[in-house]
């Protein structure tokens, strides 16, 4: 099954949290921080949203940082994705 977002929405998948600290300490599941970086999986077409023209600036494969509590989480074929509006994306990681 494939997700195809509408309007200015973007499907992202969170990047796994680091299992080790920089000093080499292995973290347990409870000690891991929620990942901040996500990978763009699919991008909507943009267009007219709430009376304003929206041009999509992200593309599949981009790594992005989103607002912490934004989006709707969905599970498709055992994989977890989040659907966010392009406006909830704070930055593209290069």
pLDDT, mean of residues 1-14: 93
First-to-final CA distance of the chain: 29
The CATH classification of domain 9-93, taken from the options 3.30.450.20, 2.30.33.40, 1.10.1750.10, 3.40.920.10: 2.30.33.40
What gap in Å lies between CA 59 and CA 68, rounded to an integer?
A: 20
Tens-place pLDDT, residues 50-80: 899 999 999 999 999 998 888 999 999 999 9
Does the model's pTM come out above 0.85? no
What gap in Å lies between CA 29 and CA 1, rounded to an integer?
A: 29
Whether 73 contacts 66, CB under 8 Å:
no
Question: Residue for token digits 């977002």?
Answer: 5
């Amino acid at each position: 099954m494939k997700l195809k977002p509408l309007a200015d929405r973007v499907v992202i998948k969170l990047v796994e949290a680091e299992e080790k600290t920089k000093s080499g300490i292995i973290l347990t599941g409870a000690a891991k921080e929620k990942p901040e970086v996500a990978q763009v999986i699919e991008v909507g077409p943009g267009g007219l949203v709430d009376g304003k023209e929206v041009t999509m600036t992200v593309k599949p494969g981009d790594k992005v940082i989103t607002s912490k509590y934004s989006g709707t989480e969905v599970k498709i074929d055992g994989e977890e994705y989040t659907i966010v509006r392009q406006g909830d994306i704070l930055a593209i990681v290069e």
